[in-house]
Structure 1
């Protein structure tokens, strides 16, 4: 039987296993020729670009110095050391070659390095020996091609952000032993308020209260002045309530360093140039030109008996009850029998203050003892008591320095060489002037228009155990409560209520001043606040304690307790918090709010209130300063030519203005002048306010007293500093008259007691407080009732 044979497939199908493009419709199969193996030529655009070659050159550091100085110092306020300049010259010569100047390659590299140095959290001094600059140059080397920085790949590109930690080449960069992360950025104030623009978030923050921040004294960063590098740096040690005994001396040494560096930048103490105009301004007489502008260390007085000098030191009382002057080199006994204060009867001088004394040294050749130690840390020999005495001719406070000058933002035509580079220093932890100042000023101009009022209300001595005080508080709250018919009510940004919250020291065993009564007083205050729910739901309540408040009053019995002190414990204030929370629920409801809810803050004494970061700062202190000054200040003898106009021949300078050139708020209702037949006499209360203001601001410290007079916590004494000067100072002093005075650009306010006394009695419901306009920088003492 013959087998059937299947027909063979065409050879084309066997050679090409690819089936038909449409087998169901029987389309014929078309053979596909085999692919050629010839290489495909790449398009010209995809060819790898030839890497340009750079011929390295040997660039001397001296040749690069002018360009580096212009970029680092003039533009970025950085100081370049010789080692850093040598490293930069070697790097630019190796990677930029001969085109470093003509093509502008070196300028771009220097600009990138300067920006990276700041963002790395380093200090003002650019050093080439550390790992910081080496890490920056290593990261920059990987992003350079042909002497140019590749766009989008440099250390300052948006992908690199502010932290070099993500870059493998920067993992070893460290500043002071720490990785350049968030902590190092904080020293320049670049992380707390986020320097990058946030347009979407700014659109949501339409309430200026969003930019108010209360800085507790125990949370304020501790900045230490480095005398070798001439700048402030953050303390590496953590503050403690039980510090090492050496910190007590360091407290006064830091005060001296701050005042000393401030004085040396004053024009009076600069070396005269060949300019005849400036030499005539600085030198009063040709014979005293050198002595009038030079501060002599106390140790250098030895062997110079009979010569005239200008000393800077702290007034102290020696163990023999004699008045002395101490600096970092030694101590000298003072003879102020014929000394004249500058200005006359215009400030206070007390032990613990740093002053300028001009006079003559008389050496005691029979006394070679140098036994007692200097108050600022010296011990024996140089640093001990210098034999003899210093006969003072004139005594004055160090000249004050404006805030704009300290931060380097002044535009008053001052000599830029005398301007400190403290604009990058973040003193409060809210941002530095150079990093966030421009953006914060822009926000402040939007949210604080000059056409409307943005007030901070301040009241002091709120004695809750006195019924008349609560009546005065109701008058204050009623003044700022809106009218129900008002469609656009205006609320104060904050209401600051300051102690003492009890007229007697609490928790001291006195009947009626125990813990139960103390809590009941705050419960009564909560009941008063609950009657003004609309007001407290639209403002911020800030409470600052006094010496009679818990807990320090339990062991101080109302005496001066150590500063700074903690806020009033929450054990006594819970009902006030509940009253504010209930007001928020009543006013705002549970839905989405259109503004910031009311809040209550219990802060320390002293504390700071800042608005828009570094744009504004209010220093707050509750202390009876005037009474302490009256008890401890030095009384000078009457001048022999009393009643006659004596020319001012002293070498002690003033604060850049005349002695009595204080700006007084014209709206202050208590400013009165008494005309006599011969002259115009200032009101005594106003004269006291001026003297108190000049004393505190010139000392740049809230407590210029010995620790025996006003105790301080040694490690937290930095919160008492007034350098740079704040925008305003709130000094709640019950013994001083209420006033608003402006000196060297700083407004000093004292609200006095909230109960206004009329003659020898009080009027029920009459209140007195200070109203401070944040936007305009104007304060006024107000009375109602």
Structure 2
């Protein structure tokens, strides 16, 4: 029996690229063999493996001393540390940097690649490099899709579809009727579109192509099928690259913490965090957008909201801008300061509630003191001074990531649909209420929060990775001035809270992590 357990242990460690020394394997098998329940053995092995992965390993060979240290950590526990890690608000400039290495076929951290930290004013080559990084993320995902993987025993057959580079197409002297290419749609000349990948640029003819579902804009990376003739790719069909679920991404890359936070490994791998999540079935998050603090009725409705939650405090209130209903010109900063002061006075009446909940404030696209370039920094200190005596008020960036136990939440405040329509190559001919599903498909397929030309949606070149959606989160909050919605796609729940204003009857959304349900809420008159 011990030999079977030892074989199982070695196989589990090898899946993460680790090899146990003989005495380490024997020691661990001796600890697990007396456990009669297989589920118990699996649970303890997972905990010990998590502890080993969190430690600093100088080589892939794991010693007995390292196993003993991991076992001691599991048995003594660290409940206080896990309590602190239950909720983590991760600012955009704190997101981890990972880049895909085609040679090593894995994601590698910027530290391992010894890359210099990005700055707000990076070198010009970073501008083109950011699109290559976007392309690499999508291509590595696409090549694992069943249409592009080899078939037959041990992968000895041929793939159903073959991907061609632009460079290969440009070298052809004859017609290729079944050309399939992955690239970015660009408009280099007025009214003329091209397909660009890291190897070159080729003109494309979209006059008779068939579009799949989703919104297609300039700078989107698309999968194209067509005929290459006389130097032009005549497109028959165009679609977004297939979306990959978070589970499949992690099966490929293991417990890498792409999301961020204080943990070295992905929160999904933590048995303790999963246990804490199950112990809090009533936990919830409140999401609001367009909190117009210059309107007296908004302050009144917020008071009613806080009164309603006094007996069942949520984990966090997430309030997104804009925080003013309109621009006041030269007086805008004064108006915003006065509005925040009124809001702080309101919060002073609810300090017991805020001791049990976090209040996260995220700037909107029209808020002052917030850059027009993504990622947008949090509100400056001069606007925070009114909240100094109020507990748990957090001023965060746009976008923001929230990790609650094992669940990953991404929040972004931007009028995305409006921006995408401005540069759309194709807009689906569907009812307006169906448009959000096409928007969400586009973002998940592009693995990016803003797959738009930089002149439409500017991004700090070196910080483009902060807009990445890979692996996909559990909850995607796209706060938009568009009407509210709640939909599911590829294992992702996508919501728009709607405007917390009179014309939307002060709508907001409540998310319950234990059941992954979203409740539509309003504050009635």
Structure-2 residue corresponding to 1:755: 501
Residues 212 and 610 in structure 1, CA contact (< 8 A), matched pair in contact too = yes
The yes-or-no answer on 1:550 pairing with 2:368 is yes
Deviates more, 1:236-245 or 1:353-362: 236-245
Query: Aligned to 1:535, which of 328, 336, 353?
Result: 353
1:108 Cα deviation after fit: 5.5
Distance 1:617 1:537 in 2: 23
The yes-or-no answer on 1:606 pairing with 2:483 is no
TM-score by length of 1: 0.58
Q: What's the CA shift string for 1:305-332, capped at 9, x where partnerless?
A: 2421111111111145411111121111
Structure-1 residue corresponding to 2:382: 571
Alignment of 1:715-730 (within 5 A): 715-730=462-477
Structure-2 residue corresponding to 1:497: 319
Query: Aligned to 2:276, which of 443, 447, 458?
Result: 443
Q: Secondary structure at the match of 1:242?
A: coil
Structure-1 residue corresponding to 2:15: 77
Deviates more, 1:619-628 or 1:323-332: 323-332
Residues 77 and 421 in structure 1, CA contact (< 8 A), matched pair in contact too = no
The yes-or-no answer on 1:778 pairing with 2:517 is yes
Q: Secondary structure at the match of 1:269?
A: coil
Give the unaligned 5+ runs of structure 2: 1-5, 30-48
Structure-1 residue corresponding to 2:478: 731
Report the aligned-residue RMSD.
3.4
Give the unaligned 5+ runs of structure 1: 1-67, 93-103, 123-131, 141-153, 163-193, 280-288, 364-387, 409-419, 483-489, 554-560, 582-598, 639-681, 759-765
1:201 Cα deviation after fit: 5.1
Structure-2 residue corresponding to 1:428: 260
Q: Secondary structure at the match of 1:250?
A: helix
1:362 Cα deviation after fit: 0.9
Residues 222 and 241 in structure 2, CA contact (< 8 A), matched pair in contact too = yes
1:70 Cα deviation after fit: 8.8
Q: Secondary structure at the match of 1:527?
A: helix
The yes-or-no answer on 1:475 pairing with 2:317 is no
Judged with a 3 Å threshold, the aligned counterparts in structure 2 of structure 1 residues 270 and 218 are, in CA distance, closer, same or farther, namely: same
Query: Aligned to 2:188, which of 278, 294, 318?
Result: 318
Residues 498 and 507 in structure 2, CA contact (< 8 A), matched pair in contact too = yes
1:267 Cα deviation after fit: 1.4
Judged with a 3 Å threshold, the aligned counterparts in structure 2 of structure 1 residues 534 and 228 are, in CA distance, closer, same or farther, namely: same
Residues 317 and 351 in structure 1, CA contact (< 8 A), matched pair in contact too = yes
1:221 Cα deviation after fit: 1.6
Structure-2 residue corresponding to 1:156: 66
1:442 Cα deviation after fit: 2.4
The yes-or-no answer on 1:401 pairing with 2:244 is yes
Structure-2 residue corresponding to 1:656: none
Judged with a 3 Å threshold, the aligned counterparts in structure 2 of structure 1 residues 214 and 781 are, in CA distance, closer, same or farther, namely: same
Distance 1:121 1:628 in 2: 44
Residues 457 and 770 in structure 1, CA contact (< 8 A), matched pair in contact too = yes
Runs of 4+ more than 6 Å apart? 68-73, 104-107, 114-117
Query: Aligned to 1:329, which of 181, 199, 203?
Result: 199
Structure-1 residue corresponding to 2:208: 338
Residues 51 and 73 in structure 2, CA contact (< 8 A), matched pair in contact too = no
1:239 Cα deviation after fit: 2.0
1:242 Cα deviation after fit: 2.0
Distance 1:471 1:751 in 2: 19
Judged with a 3 Å threshold, the aligned counterparts in structure 2 of structure 1 residues 119 and 773 are, in CA distance, closer, same or farther, namely: closer
Judged with a 3 Å threshold, the aligned counterparts in structure 2 of structure 1 residues 224 and 205 are, in CA distance, closer, same or farther, namely: closer
1:266 Cα deviation after fit: 1.2
Residues 738 and 781 in structure 1, CA contact (< 8 A), matched pair in contact too = no
Query: Aligned to 2:218, which of 334, 351, 354?
Result: 351
Structure-1 residue corresponding to 2:284: 455
Residues 605 and 621 in structure 1, CA contact (< 8 A), matched pair in contact too = yes
Query: Aligned to 1:294, which of 158, 162, 165?
Result: 162
Judged with a 3 Å threshold, the aligned counterparts in structure 2 of structure 1 residues 712 and 335 are, in CA distance, closer, same or farther, namely: same
1:752 Cα deviation after fit: 1.2
Q: Secondary structure at the match of 1:352?
A: coil
Residues 209 and 493 in structure 1, CA contact (< 8 A), matched pair in contact too = no
The yes-or-no answer on 1:687 pairing with 2:446 is no
1:264 Cα deviation after fit: 1.0
1:435 Cα deviation after fit: 8.9
Distance 2:427 2:292 in 1: 38
Structure-1 residue corresponding to 2:33: none
1:296 Cα deviation after fit: 1.0
Q: Secondary structure at the match of 1:197?
A: helix
Structure-1 residue corresponding to 2:38: none
Q: What's the CA shift string for 1:266-313, capped at 9, x where partnerless?
A: 1121122269xxx9xxxxxxxxx96x5211111111324242111111
Q: Secondary structure at the match of 1:711?
A: coil
Query: Aligned to 2:144, which of 265, 282, 291?
Result: 265
Structure-1 residue corresponding to 2:422: 631
Residues 204 and 234 in structure 2, CA contact (< 8 A), matched pair in contact too = yes
**Bigger-Rg structure (1/2):** 1
The yes-or-no answer on 1:249 pairing with 2:128 is yes
1:698 Cα deviation after fit: 1.2
Q: Secondary structure at the match of 2:96?
A: coil
1:195 Cα deviation after fit: 10
Judged with a 3 Å threshold, the aligned counterparts in structure 2 of structure 1 residues 200 and 427 are, in CA distance, closer, same or farther, namely: closer
Deviates more, 1:428-437 or 1:230-239: 428-437
Distance 1:512 1:195 in 2: 61
Distance 2:72 2:244 in 1: 28
Judged with a 3 Å threshold, the aligned counterparts in structure 2 of structure 1 residues 495 and 199 are, in CA distance, closer, same or farther, namely: farther
Judged with a 3 Å threshold, the aligned counterparts in structure 2 of structure 1 residues 491 and 209 are, in CA distance, closer, same or farther, namely: farther
Judged with a 3 Å threshold, the aligned counterparts in structure 2 of structure 1 residues 523 and 107 are, in CA distance, closer, same or farther, namely: closer
Structure-1 residue corresponding to 2:445: 698
